Structure 1
């Protein structure tokens, strides 16, 4: 077809898995054996929930995705939700391709808004004050996911944005 190749969704997903393994430092020679091993069965419907979120995101049904995330945050412990659903979902759409980057930015915006909602709710209750900050973060959403894992545990959490940590250096 004139030098153009067409890739299926499965091909793209496999390429994203390969990139994810390589980013994690796995030598390229070991990736094939990792791809060939059976996918682990996940308890508590984590995989189903992750796929439902991905489908809503890909269909552009942002309000539906937002509702699924808020409902899941009430139904499941937040640390497990972050570990078993949200981080794997973000990894699944981490390709350096414009379409995937756009989907990731949309998802990150929803996750940051949800985390902010949870943090505000925690501030209404008594608890210890905690400040979360990060240095040299490659992923600015990661600090928000980390804060989300700590919500609902009797802490009043504030996040120090990454940009405020950069010292001011006039030109």
Structure 2
């Protein structure tokens, strides 16, 4: 454990790594709370290193309590600076309080708190049906995170950490589920050039829960090889998922051409399906939307009965 620095011989001051250890809040998030929202104001050494007093650590704990109550981080400063508002109790959100649960999930991702993510993942799947968890909790939280992610330091780290976490858990669930299901085989992969696989993983989770035998590819193969993949894997359908609009040539020319070449349905889901709906209306691509529960239901109506 790092010993606190003494300031003026009286006030102990802590470096950011120690504050992160004490509070469970990642240093990237602590810096964001300082720079973007002005929630904390650490002291600085002559070389610019942050030092936190005990009252700063207590303030971080108060921030966490408000966030756990579902308060957006942008509104926390006003609450902290108003002495007439009672400090919240650190109570878990009530069952069905989706905004509060989504807030807890977003905070855990931004803090890179894998232990907390594990708890939230296990709790959500234990309390609710898979489709409910995805539609009410995980998909909206990922949509909120993607709206925040841009060029900030740590954004890509958050995305990749969450992808790795979900890939491991969902991959294991699919592995065991595929051994038991007798439904059609679905070949699922990300839209080429999409920046991540989060929407694909959630769609695969729902599809597996619906009794489909999901063959998950982290990276899409060349589109010209998909007919061969369908044949070799005896797939009854292909599902592409994406979070961004995708290249215009890919959407307007390559996907419709691929739909004509495949002997099975080709579906598209995730935010890209909502964004590109008009571009694909007259094509052979099944545009399934970004509500993943409805998307998999629509896809199932297109697949042959096993």
**Local SS of the residue matching 1:126:** coil
Let me know the Cα RMSD of the aligned residues: 2.7
Give 1:80's aligned residue. Answer: 132
Residues 1:144 and 1:137: Cα distance change in structure 2 (over 3 Å) = farther
Give 1:152's aligned residue. Answer: 209
Residue 166 of structure 1 deviates from its aligned partner by 5.5
TM-score, normalisation: structure 2 = 0.38
Q: Distance in 2 between matches of 1:127 and 1:146?
A: 19
Select the structure that is richer in helix. Answer: 1
Q: Distance in 2 between matches of 1:55 and 1:6?
A: 17
Q: Which has the higher contact order (CA 8 A, sep 6+)?
A: 1
Q: After superposition, give the CA deviation of every residue in 1:70-108 in whole Å (9 maximum; x if it has no partner).
A: 221232122222222112212222221232222122112
**Local SS of the residue matching 1:57:** helix
Q: After superposition, give the CA deviation of every residue in 1:129-148 in whole Å (9 maximum; x if it has no partner).
A: 42233444624322211111
- Number of residue-to-residue matches in the alignment: 133
1:1-171 equivalences in 2 (<5 Å): 6-8=35-37, 9-10=73-74, 44-94=96-146, 95-96=149-150, 97-134=152-189, 135-136=191-192, 138=194, 139-165=196-222
Give 2:80's aligned residue. Answer: none
Structure 2: which 5+ residue stretches go unaligned?
1-33, 38-72, 76-94, 226-306
8 Å CA contact 1:57, 1:65 repeated in 2: yes
Residue 109 of structure 1 deviates from its aligned partner by 1.4
Q: Distance in 2 between matches of 1:159 and 1:60?
A: 25
Q: After superposition, give the CA deviation of every residue in 1:43-96 in whole Å (9 maximum; x if it has no partner).
A: 822222212222323333212212211221232122222222112212222221
Give 1:25's aligned residue. Answer: none
**Structure with larger Rg:** 2
Residues 1:127 and 1:111: Cα distance change in structure 2 (over 3 Å) = same
8 Å CA contact 1:127, 1:155 repeated in 2: yes
**Local SS of the residue matching 1:162:** coil
Residue 156 of structure 1 deviates from its aligned partner by 2.1
8 Å CA contact 1:118, 1:152 repeated in 2: no
8 Å CA contact 1:90, 1:104 repeated in 2: no
Structure 1: which 5+ residue stretches go unaligned?
12-42
Select the structure that is richer in strand. Answer: 2
TM-score, normalisation: structure 1 = 0.64
